[in-house]
Amino acid sequence: MSIDPTEIDLKADHPSRPRRRTIVKGAAWSIPVISFAVAAPLAAASEPQTCDPTKQPTVSPIGYVIAGPGILPEERDLTGWTNTPSAPGPAATQEFHSWGLAQPGFLSEGDTSTQNLSDPNTTVTVTYRFTAQKGGVYDLSATVKGAFGGSGDQSARQTLIITANGAGADLAHKYTVGGRAGSWWANGSDPNDLSSASDSTLKAAGYTLLGNEGSAEFSGGFTATSAGTVTVTYAFSLPPRMLQFNTPSNDNDDLWVSQPSALITGCAAA
């Protein structure tokens, strides 16, 4: 069966592990869509006639949207902006790794609350924007960090796709946390769930596999074919996981991404 690299079923149904977070017993949370955003300025009516390589762009956080079965409300302090005072919506105030919260960026460390493995993935979509000059040559970069969500190497997946589009930009990079050697992630699909994706499947689909407490660099460049807005999107996807109140349960893996950097390095010949 062929696999669409952009739409991989990452559901996992496997023996659960102790959680580091508290679940409200018997609560029935439903968070179809949670949106935090500010209005974007209108694009300029006319394009500038010249490109100024000394005029660096300003990247602005626009907002984020949580959609799907939802993230537990008491865990929402684990999902949000880090050190980004001007961003709309709540900031993340907790973390359980060595990353810290001092750098501007976005943390996705919460867990899906669904108990139904047929539910769609919960998504967290984060948006940044900057204005590009026509003919400007731009370099984009960001740091991605990841870690296991639970106490072991079989916590449920979380994936991230970073895209940049508009004014001639067309970039896409994919990230997830790889399984420890010998785990079901590293060697193949969960034998209890034939729809789960192994490390090799995701690697073949173009995903960069992060080690536990590991990091990777996103980088890409483009030449602006017009003056206008470039939108950088962080699309996190968290598959359903079993919540069993009488037995241990699993967490989704954790990801953090720095605020994107955009630099103009020169101007293309007219």
Domain containing residue 96 = 52-267
At residue 2, the pLDDT reads 43
What is the rounded distance in angstroms from the CA atom of residue 192 to the CA atom of residue 79? 29
Phi first, then psi: what are they for 199, rounded to 5°? -55, -45
Which residue has 């996807």 as its token pair? 237
- Report residue 245's pLDDT band, with 50, 70 and 90 as the boundaries: very low
H or E stretch at 200: helix 199-204
Question: How many distinct structural domains can be found in the chain?
Answer: 1
Q: CA 72 from chain center: how many Å?
A: 18
CB atoms within 10 A of CB 29: 14
Task: Render pLDDT for 122-167 as a digit per residue (tens, 0 to 9).
Answer: 999 999 999 999 999 999 999 999 998 866 555 778 899 999 999 9
In a domain, 220, yes or no: yes
Domain-embedded: residue 103: yes
Residue-level pLDDT at 152: 54
In a domain, 182, yes or no: yes
Is the pLDDT reported for residue 37 higher than 50? Answer: yes
Structure-block tokens of residue 176: 């997830």
What is the token pair recorded at 8?
């991989």
pLDDT one-digit tens code per residue, 188-226 = 555 444 345 778 888 889 999 998 899 999 999 999 999
Q: β-strand 60-67 against 33-37: which pairing, if any? A: antiparallel
Asked if 159 and 123 count as a contact pair (C-beta separation under 8 A), the reply is no
Phi, psi at residue 61, to the nearest 5°?
-75, 130
Residues facing 228 on adjacent strands: 132
Q: Taking residues 157-181, what's their average pLDDT?
A: 91
Position of tokens 């940044």? 128
Average pLDDT over residues 247-259: 79
Q: Which of 248, 247, 241 is nearest to 13 (CA)?
A: 241
Type of residue at 185:
W
6 lies in some domain? no
Percent of the chain at pLDDT above 90? 46
Mean pLDDT across 86-113:
89
Residue 114 within a domain:
yes
Q: Is 181 exposed, middle or buried (0-12, 13-18, 19+ CB in 10 A)?
A: exposed
Give the Cβ contact number of residue 207 at 10 Å.
Answer: 22
Residue 125 lies in a domain: yes
Pick the residue with more confidence: 11 or 88? 88
26 is a domain residue: no
The model carries a pTM of 0.81
pLDDT at 239: 83
Please give the biggest Cα pair distance in the chain: 67
Q: Which SS3 state, helix, strand or coil, does residue 124 take? A: strand
- Does residue 98 belong to any structural domain of this protein? yes
Q: Render 69-90 in DSSP notation, one character per residue.
A: S-B-GGGGGGEEEES-TTSSSP
